[in-house]
Amino acid sequence: MSDNWERRILHSYGSQFRLDIQNPQTTVGGADVYNFYSITDDEKTCLVGHQQNGTYRIYNDGTVEIVGGQKSDENGVDIVIAGKNGDVLINADKNGRVRIRGKDVTIQADEDINLTAGRNVNIKSGSGRILLKGNTLEKDGLKGNLLEPAQEWAYRVFENTGLPAGEFDSLRSAFSGVQSLAGDILNAPDQFSGFVSGAVSNAISSAGGFV
């Protein structure tokens, strides 16, 4: 079916603003019901419109500001963003940050709250406390002062190798990875000779049971 251009209404108000109604040219959301277009002197454009699939769009080349509550009640709600049946997505591309600031910030979920970071997760408290409360509290990691010594990765690597317990603290204190560990062994071979021979003895003793 060909586009019905007869239904289109186009009003231009000068060279920088126009109203386009029932443009038959389709996009991802289908044909447009209406669009407001504007452009600045330095060619930054803004589009506000409604599409046939029900999507309401706000596109702007510059900053978008939403400010409310200048004259509302002190304890009232100034701005509401609600998703009735789907997700609410806030995304900062490239080097942007998502910042939420207020006197008190509450994050509440009926089910799960997931925090995932590609690098660090930092939780800091000023003059107050940090409270972790739940039916089950668990921790898991490779190293750190929250872990029991036997849970640390360096301990687990040398489990059942015969490493003398008195020698391991000197290794663990400076341990920062496999590369560091290799350097320690090369620089102080006598320190680790005991656990190597102990590991060999353990292997021989274990094998003897099958002879």
pTM more than 0.75 = no
174 to 145, 149, 156, 165: CA distances (angstroms): 14, 14, 16, 16
Give the helix/strand (H/E) hosting 197: helix 189-208
pLDDT tens digits, one per residue of 128-166: 999 999 999 988 887 788 877 777 766 666 666 666 544
pLDDT tens digits, one per residue of 4-62: 677 889 999 999 999 999 988 877 778 889 999 999 999 999 999 999 999 999 999 99
Residue 162, pLDDT score:
63
Q: How confident is the model at residue 109 (pLDDT cuts 50, 70, 90)?
A: very high
Residue 148, pLDDT score:
78
98/89 Cα distance (integer angstroms): 11
Task: Give the residue, 173 or 148, on which the prediction is more confident.
Answer: 148
Confidence check: pLDDT of 116 > 90? yes
For 68-80, what is the mean pLDDT? 88
Cα 185 from chain centroid (whole Å)? 38
Residue 7, pLDDT score:
82
Instruction: State the Cα torsion 51-57-61-63 to the nearest 10°.
Output: 170
Residue 131, pLDDT score:
93
β-sheet with 17-21: strand ranges across: 9-12, 17-21, 32-39, 45-51, 56-60
Q: How confident is the model at residue 210 (pLDDT cuts 50, 70, 90)?
A: very low
Going from N- to C-terminal start, the domains of the chain cover 1-63, 139-204
Q: How confident is the model at residue 203 (pLDDT cuts 50, 70, 90)?
A: very low
Residue 211, pLDDT score:
44
39 to 11, 14, 94: CA distances (angstroms): 15, 11, 25
